[in-house]
Amino acid sequence: MYHQHILLHDPQYTKLRIHGRTAYIGISEMLRYSVDLYYRDISLELLNLRVMDDSDRIPTRLQVRWQLEGIPRTSAMMSTGAVSKTTYEGVFEYSFNAAGDIMEHRIESITPAPSRRVIFLHGIGGRLRAWWERRRLPELSPGIGCVSHSNRFTATKPIDHSRSSSPCTIDS
């Protein structure tokens, strides 16, 4: 679904440019966690989906208009009466490659605009996630079952290199 080199781009509010599937999924998880932390009774509604036909070839962009509603947890705890919902509306635009993978997720608008505090906290969270990702063992990206020859891994079954040009070993 997401291309390995997906770009999350916010030209409006944060000037954020996040590259890569791992970082994109990390930001998505962090946002979901943050929304759950600050709101309850959350609903997300897709208001409009529009295929952007730029040329005679297969459409490569999709515009999504959405609305998110939730009750702030702080107001629910301190309130004695009716609690009002907070509503956000936004427009995202997705670009696809020929295989149908999402190449770019562009934030066109969010109303009301995110607060500076939220942007700051998400920036810290992103930096912590990047630091954590650098600490973890690398993903097995060369291919299924392939591992690195560094000291961190132990090779258990060597591949017959006369039939393969790959210097990988099988991890069983």
Q: Are residues 151 and 119 in the same domain?
A: no
pLDDT per residue, tens digit, the chain (172 aa), is: 888 999 999 888 778 888 999 999 988 898 888 888 889 999 999 999 999 876 666 658 999 999 999 999 876 566 666 778 999 999 999 999 888 899 999 999 999 987 766 666 666 666 666 676 676 554 444 444 444 444 444 444 444 444 444 444 444 3
Domain count, the chain: 2
Q: Which of 76, 2, 78 is nearest to 42 (CA)?
A: 76
Q: Are residues 95 and 172 in the same domain?
A: no
Q: Are residues 99 and 130 in the same domain?
A: yes
User: Is 169 within 8 Å of 146 (Cβ atoms)?
Assistant: yes
Q: Are residues 75 and 145 in the same domain?
A: no
pTM (predicted TM-score): 0.62
- Which residues are registered as beta bridge partners of 72? 39
134 three-class SS: helix
Q: Are residues 128 and 146 in the same domain?
A: no
H or E segment to which residue 150 belongs: none
Q: Which domain holds residue 157?
A: 140-172
Q: For CA atoms 50, 55, 59, 61, give the dihedral sign.
A: negative
Category of 59 on φ-ψ map: left (φ > 0), alpha (ψ -120 to 50) or beta: beta
